[in-house]
């Protein structure tokens, strides 16, 4: 079955860096957009970034633009998030998810995050 497993979280000081990984299995990784979402302690969900199957299309939330870099290795079925210049407010559980779509009977194509990993915790603190 489809499985996503995040790793790489931990405790880092403000200004530091961390690289998150998301290992995937059970589906054709290279055919699918992938996305990162985070959730600060006791807060709601915040989308971070997504990347297309071939890596040509990438978007970031304004809150991480210029500091975070999303990438993928289709040969390894893995997704990454390089996080630099970390801030206290980046403290969160980081989830990777598939960002897939399908056609409705109306003919419209809809995208959604249908498979999620369990998350990895990033704590930024001095």
Residue 51 · residue 58 · CB < 8 Å: yes
Quote the tokens at residue 81.
Answer: 């998030």
Residues of span 22-41 touching another protein by CB under 8 A:
35, 37
Nearest CA-CA partner of 51 in 70, 67, 78, 29: 70
Among 8-16, 21-29, 46-54, 71-79, the segment contacting another protein (CB under 8 A): 46-54
Quote the tokens at residue 23.
Answer: 């290992």
Q: Which of 29, 50, 68, 80 binds another protein (CB under 8 A)?
A: 50
Is 94 a residue that touches another protein (CB under 8 A)?
Answer: no
Among 15-23, 56-64, 66-74, 77-85, the segment contacting another protein (CB under 8 A): 56-64
Is 86 a residue that touches another protein (CB under 8 A)?
Answer: no
Q: How many CA atoms lie within 13 A of 83 on its CB side?
A: 31
CA dist list (Å): 39 to 9, 21, 26, 92: 13, 17, 26, 5
Q: How far is the CB of 89 from another protein (least distance, A)?
A: 17
Which positions touch another protein (CB under 8 A)? 35, 37, 44-47, 50, 59-62, 95, 97, 102, 104, 106, 108, 110-114, 116-119
């Amino acid at each position: 079955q489809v499985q996503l497993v995040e790793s790489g979280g931990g405790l880092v000081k403000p200004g530091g860096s961390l690289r998150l990984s998301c290992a995937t299995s059970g589906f054709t990784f290279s055919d699918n957009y992938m996305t990162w979402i985070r959730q600060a302690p006791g807060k709601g969900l915040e989308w971070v970034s997504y990347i297309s199957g071939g890596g040509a299309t990438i978007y970031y939330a304004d809150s991480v633009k210029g500091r975070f870099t999303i990438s993928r290795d289709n040969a390894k079925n893995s997704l990454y998030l390089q996080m630099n210049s970390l801030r206290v407010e980046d403290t969160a559980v980081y989830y990777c998810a598939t960002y897939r779509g399908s056609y409705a009977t109306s003919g419209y194509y809809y995208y959604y995050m249908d498979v999620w990993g369990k998350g990895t915790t990033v704590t930024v603190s001095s």
